[in-house]
Structure formats: C-alpha cells, structure tokens
C-alpha cells in the first residue's frame, strides 16, 4: 500500500534538482556537441599517449591536374600567440590547383540544401629558400570546395588572398546533394605560398542558429531533458594534464582564433571552440543554470603525475593570481558590459549578465593539506568578495571512505553551502541506499550529487541500471531539501571514441542514440516538483524492490506520484491519496518498463523500452499493478 498524505504540509524541495554533467570526454566537445566539422582546423594537434598526432594530422596534400607543391609548418608569425602553428602551402606548379583536404571526425557528413559557413585565415607566404620567393605582386586565387566521396564537387567558392596580413575569408556553401562521407578541399591556383590557419566548416543551422554553435540534434536531445542546470567542463578534465596545465576558462573565451587549443586530460584534443561563452550561451538558450567547475589549485588525484594520494598544488605564491582568475570569471559572467571582463562577454554577443550563482571548486580531490590550504584560500576570497556565489566543495570519487569523510568534515569546518558527491555503483547499491539522505544533517552543507550512475559489471546501459537510477532519484526527491542538485554522468559519448561506459547519450557523425538511462532522466526532468509530500509504503515481501515519491509542482499545480518496481514480476500497489477533498476523475499515467531487465537500446533501432502515456480513471482506493522493472508516473491535476 502506498499512501500519499495530501493533508500533510508539503516540504519545499529544490526546484533545480535535476541537471546535467557535461564533460569533454568520449569526444563530447570537438567531434561532438561543438558543430565544427573540420578536424584539427588550427594545426595544433600534438602527440598523445594513444596517437602520434601532429599539426598535419587529418590533413592531406591535394594535387590536381599535374600540380606540384607541399605542406609545411609555420610558427614565426601566428594569427595569435595562443594559436602558435599554421600551415604553409607551397605551390611550385599550380596545375589545376594544389592544396589540402580534410575528412572531419571519422567522416564529414553534408546535407543537400543546407548552408555551411566555410572560412579560413590566410596571408601570402614566401615560398622559402628552396623554392624561390613566388610572385607576391599578384593575389593568390583560391577555391574552397565541398567534394563528394566520389570526387564530384557539391559546392564551391572562389577567393583571392593578397598581402602579408592575416585575413579571414568566409563563404556560404550549399551542397547540391547529400553525402555522409564528403571532404573539404582548399586549392591554390598559382605558383607561390599561402599561410593558412583556422580552416573551418560549420553548419549554419546550429542549435538556436548560434554562430560558432552547437550540433543541433545533440543539443536538442540534451535540451529535451529539461535540465535545470548544466555542469561543465568536467570532471577530471578541469584539472587538465598537470598542475600548470589545468583547464583555464580564459583560454576558452574571445575570438576562436585566439583561444588556446590543447590536448585534453582524456588524451585527445580540445580546440576550445566550445568554450565558456558557448557553455553559458547554451545554458541561457535552454533555461538552465550554468554550473562551472574550476580546480582548487591542485592537480588531479587520479593522474599519474600525482604521486600516491598526494596532489601537487600550485606554488602558494601563484595562488593570488589564480584566485584573481576565478574572480575574473565571476566578473566575466555577471559583471556589467562596461567592466573589464564583462566587456569580453559583451563583445562575444551577450551584454546581459549570465547570472552565475554556483561555482564548483575542485573535483574528486584527495583531502590533503595541500588541497585544504588552497581551497580555503579560494573560498575565503569568494566569500568576502562574492557572497552571492554559492561555492560547491568536493568529497572525492566514492560514496563513502576516507576522502569522503574528510571532504565532508572540511566542508562543515568551512561552513560550505554545498558538497559535491560522486558515485558509480552497482544497480543493487542504488536500491540498498534509498535511505542514504534521510539521515543527512539538515543544518549542515547540502548535497550536489554531481556524478552518479548505476554500473553493471559489463558497463551496459541496461533497463536494470535505468530503473535502479529511477529508484534512487525518488529518494533524491524525497530528500530534495538536502540534495539540491543531481546530475548523471557522463552525458555524451561518440561511437568509436568512447572511453568511459556507460554514458547517457551516444552519437555518431549523423545520429543520436539516447540510452534507456536517458529516458529515465527525461521523465524525471519533465515531472519535477518543488515540494515533496510524505509517502508511506507498506511493502510486501521483505527487501522487495519497490519505492515511491510524491511531489507537487506549483507551476502546473499537479501532484506527481512516481512508483518504481525493480522486481522481475509485477507488484500490486494500492494507491491511497489520503486527505484528498475531491479526487479528479482521471490522472495521466506514464509507464516505462519491461519484463527483461537486461535489455539495452540498439543504435538506429527503436528503443528497447519506451514510455507509454495514457489517461486512466482515478478513485480514492485504486490498485495499480506496477509492471516488472518499471517506473510509473501519475500526474494528477487539481488536487
């Protein structure tokens, strides 16, 4: 019997409870959410542990009609100091064109009739000692082409490059037919040299039509979750590859050609084309709160360069400058357009403040003296200068243990408002720990469950994991007065580049494959409340996996009751809406579940399990058969 006490005072809970965790791993940013189609557009690729990458990676020399020439690397007069390398194309014999080609990330998909913005930066370069000066008195004719796999031209634009000043050239190209495996080609048509950088191809139909924007299908899939907040850019990624190579937000704002691209801590490359401006803009576009995370001035405890449990920290004399960067971030996000950093935001197209209110400091750090000292320094300055910003502390990678206890003790010592907990656990753990937050101190720091997921041994996105997560989410709703924010992790993973399983949303160059876990997140995102009502569940057999929550949504006025059955058989539930003065005749019921807990979604196929919504009659004492492995949501209006 499930009794929802409608007469009891509803407990206000966080209206921001369910959000998302975006980390640039699994090609989530470049080759993922960021719409750029050219791989290694600024010739800044460098070797990683996994790949012998370099400035020429993913570029081919193209010689047509008996043309001759070669590609070289320049670094003596870059577009910008943050973007040190560029390509030097030398044409010794023009033929019908000599240049370079790029096939994107695995493939370069083009759609007929869709507009793409092709651009490149260039100047006329000397050909060098070996090849002579070239004739720089006349401009260099250039063609940019989109070619089908069979070599036919789908669209092209002509340019002339003249002079020694870096200049951006742009054209809109509209392919005459679709090709999932096209290539981008740039050809020079005269003897001479060209310096080239930031060779780019971006679809114009990005999410909300933003320039330098996001892949529409992926961004829409995320927006469809209705996330109340977006955490970014990680995860471990925030620490970067070393103590002086942390993810620095300042490298990620301003004109894209001035951003500092780098190898990321997940062993591939980040252009920073998807940078802080784009993250904040995305939040604004989907009505979510931005939740950036910065390091606490220590490097990643998981990384090889961090010996033992220790974490190397920034030298203390460098901390004031680092803290200033954090203060600058707040000015950049919230300051007036006339302030130094607010002006950078305004110049990018957002004069209004972004409304930053949360800032994560640290990620899964070992709670060492080095960490504590640096965190306390940052926190003290933020408290003094920006009391309006809620600082979120950290409690390590596990749901319990030494770091966890110490992280919490430290957070209490500093009287932090919120602490970030992370746990990746077996599905059964999610069921066994439904009461985890019932006993948390309501007066101490509150919880941001920043990363969580149910993990099968083989790390598949089974229905079992999705239902276990649904069960756990009901416990977060019941405890929404102490758990203020929660985000499943990780969010995105590109097929063939997935380093971490499971993830919420998979994708390839052209398609998006949401998991069953995504469906659960979406159902909770669409059925949130801002007050919780007490529920009493008199379960049948001891240990039966059955749980529930009841929340009110003050905007719609609806009562939302969620019932999760994790058993392999249906469980009858007598639903009593105690204290209801007058029941409406019907309710909306959504059921997501299936007999086989082991099923997973298959790319390109209909979902293994899909939610079914219908209107059902309601009565004071009605029984409901909760199907095996299911989440059921009743939405009841006017109650």
Shorter beta-carbon distance to ligand AHR: residue 440 or 500: 500
Q: Is 32 in the site for ligand AHR (CB under 6 A)?
A: no
Looking up tokens 């007469």 gives 7
Is residue 247 within 8 Å of 233, Cβ to Cβ?
yes
Is residue 147 within 8 Å of 118, Cβ to Cβ?
no
Q: How many other CB atoms are found less than 10 A from the CB of residue 92?
A: 17
In whole angstroms, the minimum distance from the beta carbon of 335 to ligand AHR comes to 29
Helix (H) / strand (E) containing 382:
helix 369-385
* Piece in contact with ligand AHR (CB under 6 A), picked from 233-241, 252-260, 542-550, 601-609: 233-241
Q: Is 236 in the site for ligand AHR (CB under 6 A)?
A: yes
Shorter beta-carbon distance to ligand AHR: residue 468 or 599: 468
Q: Is 420 in the site for ligand AHR (CB under 6 A)?
A: no
In whole angstroms, the minimum distance from the beta carbon of 420 to ligand AHR comes to 9
Alpha carbon distance 516, 462 (integer Å): 7
Task: Please report, as residue ranges, which positions from 103 to 142 form the binding site for ligand AHR (by CB under 6 A).
Answer: none
Q: Is 398 in the site for ligand AHR (CB under 6 A)?
A: no
Candidates 626, 543, 535; CA nearest to 576 is 535
Q: What mask, x for binding ligand AHR by CB under 6 A, covers residues 192 to 231? A: ----------------------------------------
Q: Which of 71, 293, 489, 575 is the binder for ligand AHR (CB under 6 A)? A: 489
Q: Which of 102, 363, 368, 565 is the binder for ligand AHR (CB under 6 A)? A: 363
- Which one of the listed residues 36, 278, 364, 477 is annotated catalytic? 364
Q: How many residues bind ligand AHR (CB under 6 A)?
A: 12
What are the helix (H) ranges across 137-231? 216-223
Shorter beta-carbon distance to ligand AHR: residue 222 or 559: 222
SS3 290: strand
Alpha carbon distance 21, 165 (integer Å): 42
Q: Is 23 in the site for ligand AHR (CB under 6 A)?
A: yes
Q: What mask, x for binding ligand AHR by CB under 6 A, covers residues 436 to 455? A: ---------------x----
In whole angstroms, the minimum distance from the beta carbon of 303 to ligand AHR comes to 11
The whole-angstrom distance between residue 69's C-alpha and the CA centroid of its chain comes to 41
Shorter beta-carbon distance to ligand AHR: residue 164 or 305: 305
CA contacts within 13 A on the Cβ side of 357: 9
Q: Is 421 in the site for ligand AHR (CB under 6 A)?
A: no
Q: Is 397 in the site for ligand AHR (CB under 6 A)?
A: yes
Q: Which residues of 2-40 are buried (b: 16+ CB within 10 A; e: fewer)?
A: bbbbbeeebeebbbbbbbbbbbbbbbbbbbbbbbbbbbb
In whole angstroms, the minimum distance from the beta carbon of 422 to ligand AHR comes to 6
Looking up tokens 């100047």 gives 123
Which residues are within 8 A (CB) of 250 and not within 5 positions of it... i.e. 6 or more apart? 325, 328
Task: Please report, as residue ranges, which positions from 500 to 539 form the binding site for ligand AHR (by CB under 6 A).
Answer: 500
Tokens of residue 255, six digits: 């004109």
Which residues are within 8 A (CB) of 18 and not within 5 positions of it... i.e. 6 or more apart? 225, 226, 227, 228, 473, 486, 487, 521, 524, 525, 528
Looking up tokens 């197209």 gives 349
Alpha carbon distance 256, 386 (integer Å): 29
Q: Is 323 in the site for ligand AHR (CB under 6 A)?
A: no
Q: Is 490 in the site for ligand AHR (CB under 6 A)?
A: yes
Q: Which of 134, 235, 273, 566 is the binder for ligand AHR (CB under 6 A)? A: 235
Q: Is 636 in the site for ligand AHR (CB under 6 A)?
A: no
625 is catalytic: no
Shorter beta-carbon distance to ligand AHR: residue 31 or 233: 233
Is residue 159 within 8 Å of 85, Cβ to Cβ?
no
Q: Give the interface with ligand AHR as residue ranges (CB under 6 A).
A: 23, 234-236, 363-364, 397, 422, 451, 489-490, 500
User: What are the catalytic residues?
Assistant: 364
């Amino acid at each position: 019997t499930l009794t929802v006490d409608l007469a009891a005072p509803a407990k206000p809970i966080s209206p921001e409870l369910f959000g998302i965790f975006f980390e640039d791993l699994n090609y989530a940013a470049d080759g993922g959410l960021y719409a750029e189609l050219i791989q290694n557009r600024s010739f800044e690729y460098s070797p990683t542990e996994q790949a012998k990458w370099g400035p020429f990676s993913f570029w081919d020399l193209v010689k047509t009609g008996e043309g001759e020439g070669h590609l070289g690397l320049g670094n003596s007069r870059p577009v910008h100091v943050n973007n040190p390398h560029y390509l030097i194309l030398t044409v010794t014999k023009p033929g019908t064109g000599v240049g370079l080609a790029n096939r994107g990330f695995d493939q370069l998909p083009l759609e007929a009739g869709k507009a793409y913005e092709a651009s490149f930066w260039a100047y006329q370069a000397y050909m060098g000692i070996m090849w002579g000066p070239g004739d720089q008195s006349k401009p260099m004719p250039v063609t940019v082409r989109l070619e089908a796999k069979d070599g036919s031209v789908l669209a092209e634009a002509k340019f002339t490059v003249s002079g020694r000043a870096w200049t951006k050239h742009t054209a809109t190209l509209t392919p005459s037919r679709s090709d999932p495996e096209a290539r981008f080609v740039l050809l020079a048509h005269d003897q001479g040299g060209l310096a080239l950088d930031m060779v780019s191809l971006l679809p114009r139909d990005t999410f909300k039509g933003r320039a330098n924007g996001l892949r529409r299908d992926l961004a829409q899939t995320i927006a469809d979750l209705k996330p109340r907040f977006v955490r970014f850019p990680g995860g471990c990624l925030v620490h970067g590859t070393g103590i002086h190579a942390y993810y620095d937000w300042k490298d990620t704002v301003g004109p894209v050609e001035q951003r500092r691209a780098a190898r990321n801590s997940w062993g591939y490359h980040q252009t920073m084309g998807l940078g802080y401006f784009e993250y904040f803009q995305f939040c604004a576009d989907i009505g979510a709160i931005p939740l950036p995370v910065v390091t606490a001035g220590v490097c990643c405890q998981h990384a090889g360069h961090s010996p033992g449990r220790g974490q190397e920290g920034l030298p203390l004399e460098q901390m004031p400058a680092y803290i200033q960067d954090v203060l600058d971030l707040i000015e950049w996000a919230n300051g007036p357009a006339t302030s130094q950093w607010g002006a950078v935001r305004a110049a990018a197209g957002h004069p209004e403040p972004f409304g930053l209110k949360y800032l994560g400091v640290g990620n899964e750090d070992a709670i060492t003296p080095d960490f504590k000292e640096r965190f306390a320094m940052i926190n003290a300055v933020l408290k003094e200068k920006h009391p309006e910003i809620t600082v979120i502390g950290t409690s390590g990678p596990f749901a319990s243990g030494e770091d966890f206890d110490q992280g919490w003790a430290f957070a209490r010592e500093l009287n932090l408002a919120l602490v970030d907990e992370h746990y990746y656990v077996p599905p059964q753990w999610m069921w066994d720990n439904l009461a985890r937050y019932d006993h948390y101190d309501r007066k101490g720091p509150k919880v941001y469950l920043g990363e969580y997921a149910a993990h099968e041994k083989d790390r598949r996105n089974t229905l079992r994991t999705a239902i276990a997560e649904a069960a756990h989410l009901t416990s977060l709703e019941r405890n929404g007065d102490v758990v203020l924010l929660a985000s499943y992790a990780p969010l995105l993973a590109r097929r063939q580049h997935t380093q971490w399983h499971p993830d919420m949303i998979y994708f390839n160059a052209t398609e998006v494959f949401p998991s069953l876990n995504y469906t659960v997140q979406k159902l909770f995102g669409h059925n949130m409340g801002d007050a919780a009502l007490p529920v009493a569940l008199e379960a049948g057999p001891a240990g039966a996996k059955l749980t529930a929550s009841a929340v009110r949504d003050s905007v719609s006025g609806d009562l939302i009751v969620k019932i999760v059955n994790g058993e392999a058989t249906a469980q009858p539930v007598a639903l009593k809406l105690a204290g209801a003065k007058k029941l409406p005749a019907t309710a909306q019921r959504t059921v997501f579940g299936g007999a086989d807990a082991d099923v997973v979604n298959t790319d390109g196929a209909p979902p293994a399990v899909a939610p079914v919504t219908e209107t059902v009659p309601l009565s004071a004492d009605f029984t409901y058969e909760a199907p095996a492995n299911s989440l059921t949501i009743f939405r009841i209006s006017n109650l």
